[in-house]
A and B are shown apart, each in its own frame.
Chain A
């Protein structure tokens, strides 16, 4: 599906994993017993989501989200929930920093991003970085207990 399907560079951005997570987002539900919750909103796009967290002993025990947005923002939120579940909070924050670098500068050396790597194609489309990072900023706000709605535009 690469190269000869007429979609060219777009396949760098819209990889099959993105379509999969856009169509069937993982951990896509509200969480009644969450201990950390935050909202994210990009008013220009209309992208809106809520991230729910359950922490124990400094580790993300459970994470979920609800909301609506473009394929990039929905898939990024879905992939994020898979990537951070079971990880210590400080690792999650470090991953966010590295992930942000992956999308905007050069990928940090030696970091294995796993499935998150599929979002690296956003680098060629700077206007879409805010879509891919909204869920992460919202997660960050949930972790630090910020009351403001997260925004990436």
Chain B
């Protein structure tokens, strides 16, 4: 691995810390009290809150434009279809994909990955072929590959991670081989915050003839993503971690792959003709969108994309990075606190363990002060096993968080230590 290559890829954007303080007012839920306290919402890696623009877009669609798509001859159906296909184009532009036909709407990242596993991988992998994962994957980028390996006789390989929570790049090169058909890798670790140096890894995977799927669930809300610059073959993300609604997600797949991938679910909308003898199927992406899709979800996802682009992803990333650095420094100053995930390049996630305090107890004590964090294994059990822990307490940042949220987090940890310690 050429180190200068990594350095360029991993260098955080040099942006002065922007002032996003006015943006919290865009999110109605942030003004509510929780357990009688000011809400400090720091569970953004699980799901983000929604801005008024997104909430209003959902309402507006059902009040003004609701109809089924792709089949009506009536005005409303054409209107809903235009909005839905317009949303697909906005997603294409957001990811800088080359063609709108490369964008499939799904229920979320998990469904996007399962689609690739059951359509592309199941029909491509041969016994003895290898799927290369990393030790920091979310369960949704592990279990679908276990299924398809059982179905095809392919073998899973795993790139280990270092004590700091970075990929062991030499091991990546050693594990990548002539039998590697697919590399499935997260762009940002949900449990550790690590940002992986994707572009050079993807180039190396392509050099041995492997395809690359990127789990972008934890990336799209924190940094600009350009699938053509990355060079990946598949890219998956969810709307609800990007200030959009739940139940809508995206799969980007290169045209030359998607156009020959077989359908994975049958039903309406994905066919050309149906008889009881045989059916023929619509071209991509419709072939992968059986049944009535989440029409409102797709349309409102486009509104969420407009929102983050208006705020600016570089600015959001810089703002969150400043909060992460502040929180990291404050937490490191506390005795008995250990940060899990100390990669040189991190995005928006602070995972920690406190001596003598189980993460769930810490989570409850923080909750009593209105501080919402996640406690547990974060659907990344192999990461917890790697560090010999049952779980962590995880604070994760979004564009609307501020210094007050960080202060509430740190005060809550100190309070938990006061409660658990010192009293014989």
By a beta-carbon cutoff of 8 Å, the part of chain A in contact with chain B is 6-10, 13-14, 16, 19, 44-47, 68-72, 125, 127-128, 131
Contacts and interface: CB of A to CB of B under 8 A. Distances in A.
A127 B373 CA distance: 13
A70 B368 contact: no
A44 B423 CA distance: 29
A19 B365 CA distance: 14
B352 to A, nearest CB: 16
Nearest to B362: A70
Given A69-B358, A128-B360, A8 B368 contact: yes
B419 A7 contact: yes
B344 interface: no
Contacts of B357: 71
Nearest to A6: B415
B419 A68 contact: no
B240 interface: no
Contact of B423 (A19, A45, A47, A72): A19
B138 to A, nearest CB: 15
Given A46-B377, A70-B361, A14 B419 contact: yes
Nearest to A127: B364
A52 B86 CA distance: 63
Interchain residue pairs A-B with the least CB separation, the first 10: A46-B390, A70-B358, A70-B360, A10-B368, A71-B361, A70-B361, A46-B391, A44-B376, A45-B360, A125-B364
14 contacts: A9-B35, A10-B364, A13-B364, A14-B361, A19-B423, A45-B376, A46-B377, A47-B390, A68-B390, A70-B358, A71-B420, A125-B364, A125-B367, A128-B364
A45 B391 contact: yes
A8 B377 CA distance: 29
Nearest to A46: B390
Interface in B352-386: 357-361, 364-365, 367-368, 376-377, 384
A7 B415 contact: yes
B423 A16 contact: yes
Nearest to B389: A46
Interface in B117-149: none
Contacts of A7: 415, 419
Given A7-B419, A8-B368, A9-B368, A44 B361 contact: no
Contacts of A8: 368
A7 B390 CA distance: 26
Interface residues of B, number: 19
B365 A46 contact: no
Interface of B: 35, 357-361, 364-365, 367-368, 376-377, 384, 390-391, 415, 419-420, 423
Contacts of A128: 360, 364
Given A9-B368, A44-B376, A131 B419 contact: no
A14 B368 CA distance: 12
A19 B420 contact: yes
B384 A46 contact: yes
A76 to B, nearest CB: 13
A44 B379 CA distance: 8
Contacts of A46: 376-377, 384, 390-391
A71 B368 contact: no
A68 B361 CA distance: 13
Nearest to A11: B419
Nearest to B357: A71
B368 A45 contact: no
A109 B423 CA distance: 34
Given A9-B368, A45-B376, A45-B390, 13 more contacts: A13-B364, A14-B419, A16-B423, A19-B420, A44-B377, A46-B376, A46-B377, A46-B390, A70-B358, A71-B361, A71-B420, A72-B361, A128-B364
A6 B423 CA distance: 15
Contacts of B360: 45, 70, 72, 128, 131
Nearest to A72: B361
A10 B390 CA distance: 24
Nearest to A19: B423
Contacts of B376: 44-46
Contacts of B35: 9
Contacts of B364: 10, 13, 125, 127-128
Contacts of B368: 8-10
B78 to A, nearest CB: 46
A70 B420 CA distance: 12
Counting chain A CB atoms within 10 Å of each CB, which of B360, B376, B377, B390 scores highest? B360
A95 B361 CA distance: 26
A46 B387 CA distance: 14
Q: Which of A6, A7, A47 has the most CB of B within 10 A?
A: A7
B179 to A, nearest CB: 33
